[in-house]
Amino acid sequence: MNANLLFGSMLVVSIGVSSCATGGKEQNTGTKPVFSAEDMDLSVDPGTNFFEYANGGWRKQHPLPDDKSRYGSFDLLAEENKEKVKLIIENAAAQNAEDGTVSQKIGDFYASGMDMDAINKAGIKPIQPLLSKINSIEKQDDIVKVISFLQQQGINPLFYYHATADQKNSKMNIAGVYQSGLGMPDRDYYLEKTDDAKKLRDAYQNYLTTLYTLSGHAETEAAKKAELVFDFETSLAKASNSRLENRDPHKTYNKVDINGVEEMVKPFPFASFIKGMGYSVPAEINVSQPEFLAEVGKLYKKEKLSTWKTFLTSVVLRNTAAYLTQDFVNANFAFYGQAMSGQKEQEPRWKKVVNTTNGALGEAVGQLFVAEYFPPAAKKRMDKLVENLRIAFGQRISQLEWMSDETKQAAQEKLDAIRVKIGYPNKWRDYSDLKVVKTSYVENILASNRFELDFDLAKIGKPVDQDEWFMTPQTVNAYYNPLANEIVFPAAILQPPFFYLDGDDAVNYGAIGVVIGHEMTHGFDDQGRLFAKDGNMEEWWTAEDSEKFNARTKVLVDQFNQFEVLPGVFANGELSLGENIADLGGLLISYQAYLNSLNGKENTEKIDGFTDKQRFYLAYSRVWAQNIRDAEIARLTKVDVHSLGSNRVNGPLPNVQEWYDAFGLDAKSPLFITPEERASIW
Ligand SMILES: [Zn+2]
């Protein structure tokens, strides 16, 4: 759902994996000291494993609940938020508000999702119109018509068609086409020869088989269909870009007109596909993966109508399974929750429905969330912190030994031009055109998808709305958008362990300060540096500086490639490079900002038994405290650009001299890296 949040700006980079895990009920009371010995493990040597030293106690006190694949302080905050959002939703529902009001929509959306009796009773009836449409395919043209129809419902069998800022003219929106069609979370799962990948492929085929049996097919027939679909998807997987390739903004920028697209995807009639959705053909379209489109064209030409019908049916079933009967929900969980992520149990129903309600009416819920939970004082303190971080980053740029004056000048200009959004949007989304009923959950989901598609595609050919947010205020996360050169901090992240409204400076600089610095450096990481201050993709570095930058980041790639995350499985230093640059840069910049705040004085006060400098690094580490299952480690290592929590701590810190100094560590520490081998970028 909400494809526009994900694809409206493909290059948006966030601070952490968006939290989907759920559980416990612990609240941050704000009265507990930020650090106490019980949250740490003082028996661990900080120079051997700083992550465990800082978080060992916390990790023991927060074992993984059965319904979670990862549980960290990040997730805990997201959990607490979910409780708050639930209250907001329940309040809206209790008002029995007039039809068409926002309260009615929030309340009824939630109620429709919680009414399992009605959902079970309806069976697959709510998706029958979609399945009938597929069954009515009689000739090749019909395939395109049906795909257009499904696309309108937010179901994207082959590609995402969306609005996106033009990378070379970033003030304007154009149309974009992006690869889709896979039921497993990454192309690699279809292609890898490892035992684990094979196991997951089997689990996926079982899942597809179950979906077909649940929708009325005999077991053997269902298994045959599943195999057919799997082969079809494997063809798409082979032609899909890898995640690494998709991080390359040059490779994914291929702007053409409609004739250009039709040439790539021939004989698939792309113009008819757009018109079939009810939209006119735009002047400019960016194709992110041309090779993928060529494969779609081949499949369109060669596959039988019956294969297409089977494939399209599977896409509908797996896109709606989570919202159908309990049997469908269980099958969906068995694959995506258990097999993929190692979850033992499903999270309570209400948490899932809070998520979908949040997805469908995000800013309506967000408006209520902000009114209730976001104090104006938090925004004020953040404004100040952000400006202090900007100053510190500027100082560090001017002192860099490896960068030429010419590039420094342009970098300062880009830094000065970064726009900042804190808390919530200036103007809120209008949900007037979204119709929500109390009687059908699936109908509501599909209506929301149509509403989102309309909202998104209406932007094509129009100037970019600078006030738009790609996250809701109640999201625990933050992002940098290179096409707008902006950093964005939703209200929900401005709470412990990120932000302590009453906390001391050392702790706030160590936590939210590093997050701010992290986001700022994204404008200058391996991807963000390819965009200039106005968000346009253009070269503003001298060739020599680019070379030096690449050599310096290579050190970080090599360091992270050495982390063995599971027996025989290593972290992907290239995929996570942008994030690792950001973590290391954020640490250095925020530390500098903290020193600036002391005005040359020494802070000698110990709080909770720790010096200010120790608290800075402990606060940073606390943000990444977590427990995680092996299956989730394997999955995230493949799909997530962020490093695992332990590596976000033990990875960057040994590159930082001030960290060694704060804890009195030296060359005898196992984490020690000699000064010449350290990564040093910002
Ligand atoms: Zn990031």
| 3-state SS, residue 122 | helix
**What is the reported pLDDT for 449?**
97
Instruction: Return the H-helix or E-strand segment holding 70.
Output: strand 70-72
State the Cα–Cα distance between residues 469 and 643, nearest whole angstrom.
Answer: 25
Whether the pLDDT of residue 9 is over 70: the answer is no
Whole-angstrom distance, CA of residue 504 vs CA of residue 226: 57
Ligand 1 centroid, distance to 471 Cα (angstroms): 14
How many angstroms from the chain centroid is the CA of residue 182?
A: 18
* Ligand 1 midpoint to CA 521 (Å): 9
The tens digit of pLDDT for each residue in 555-582 reads 999 999 999 999 999 999 999 999 999 9
CA of 582 to the centre of ligand 1 (A): 6
Res. 19: pLDDT tops 50: no
Handedness of CA 637, 639, 642, 645 (dihedral sign): negative
Across the range 126-152, mean pLDDT stands at 98
pLDDT score at 27: 35
As annotated, the active-site residues are 519, 583
Q: What is the mean pLDDT of residues 634-661?
A: 97
User: If pLDDT is split at 50, 70 and 90, which confidence band does 34 have?
Assistant: confident
Chain-centre distance of CA 579, in angstroms? 13
Question: 663, 669 in Cβ contact below 8 A?
Answer: no
Tell me, in angstroms, the distance from the centre of ligand 1 to residue 576's CA: 9
Which single residue is written with the structure tokens 């999955």?
A: 635
Q: How many CB atoms lie within 10 A of CB 570?
A: 13
Q: Percentage of the chain with pLDDT > 70?
A: 96
Q: How far is the CA of 681 from the centre of ligand 1 (A)?
A: 16
Residue 88 contacts residue 179 (beta carbons within 8 Å): no
CA distance 476 to 366: 12
The DSSP code sequence of 365-422 is: HHHHHHHHH--HHHHHHHHHHHHHHHHHHHHHHHH-SSS-HHHHHHHHHHHHH-EEEE
Q: In terms of Cα–Cα distance, which of 197, 180, 224 is closest to 637?
A: 197
pLDDT category at 23 given cuts 50, 70, 90 is very low
Secondary structure letter of residue 511 according to DSSP: I
Q: How far is the CA of 129 from the centre of ligand 1 (A)?
A: 41
What are the start-end ranges of the H helices in 492-644?
505-508, 514-522, 543-561, 577-597, 612-623, 630-639
- Contacts of residue 658, Cβ cutoff 8 Å, sequence gap at least 6: 591, 613
Q: How confident is the model at residue 29 (pLDDT cuts 50, 70, 90)?
A: very low
* pLDDT over threshold 60, residue 20: no
pLDDT value of position 7: 40
pLDDT for position 14? 77
Q: Is it the case that residue 466 has pLDDT exceeding 70?
A: yes
Q: Average of pLDDT values for 442-464?
A: 97
Q: What pTM value is reported for the model?
A: 0.93
Q: Is the pLDDT of residue 154 over 90?
A: yes
Q: Considering only 29-33, 84-88, 587-591, 643-647, which range has the smallest mean pLDDT?
A: 29-33
What is the per-residue pLDDT across 524-549, written as a single tens digit (0 to 9) for each?
Answer: 999 999 999 999 999 999 999 999 99
Question: What DSSP element (H or E) covers 525?
Answer: none
Name every residue whose Cβ is closer than 8 Å to that of residue 126 and which is 6 or more positions away in sequence.
320, 324, 440, 441, 442, 443
Looking at the predicted structure, is the pLDDT value of residue 26 above 60? no
Rounded to the nearest whole angstrom, what is the distance from the C-alpha of residue 583 to the centroid of ligand 1? 8
- Residues 198-222: pLDDT tens digits? 999 999 999 999 999 999 999 999 9
**Token pair for 482:** 């290179």
Spatial CB neighbours of 351, under 8 Å, sequence gap ≥ 6: 22, 82
Q: Per-residue pLDDT averaged across 178-196, rounded?
A: 96
Using 50, 70 and 90 to split pLDDT, how confident is the model at 2? Answer: very low
CA distance 216 to 221: 10
Confidence check: pLDDT of 1 > 50: no
**Confidence band of 667 (pLDDT split at 50, 70, 90):** very high
One-letter identity of residue 89: I
CA distances from 139 to 53, 145, 310 (A): 65, 10, 15
Q: How far apart are CA 643 and CA 645, in angstroms?
A: 6
For residue 35, what pLDDT is reported? 81
Q: What is the rounded distance in angstroms from the CA atom of residue 251 to the CA atom of residue 241?
A: 10
What is the Å distance from ligand 1's center to 519 Cα? Answer: 6
Query: Is a pLDDT exceeding 50 seen at residue 652?
Result: yes
Distance 185 CA to ligand 1 centre (A): 20
DSSP letters along 583-597, please? HHHHHHHHHHHHHHH
Distance 564 CA to ligand 1 centre (A): 22
pLDDT of 597 > 50? The answer is yes
Mean pLDDT of all residues belonging to the chain: 94
Kindly state the average pLDDT of the residues 344-348: 97
Query: Does 517 score more than 50 pLDDT?
Result: yes
Quick: pLDDT tens for 295-325. Answer: 999 999 999 999 999 999 999 999 999 999 9
521-525-530 Cα angle (round to 5): 120
What's the gap in Å between 522 CA and the centre of ligand 1? 7
pLDDT tops 50 at residue 21: no
Residue 292 has what pLDDT? 98
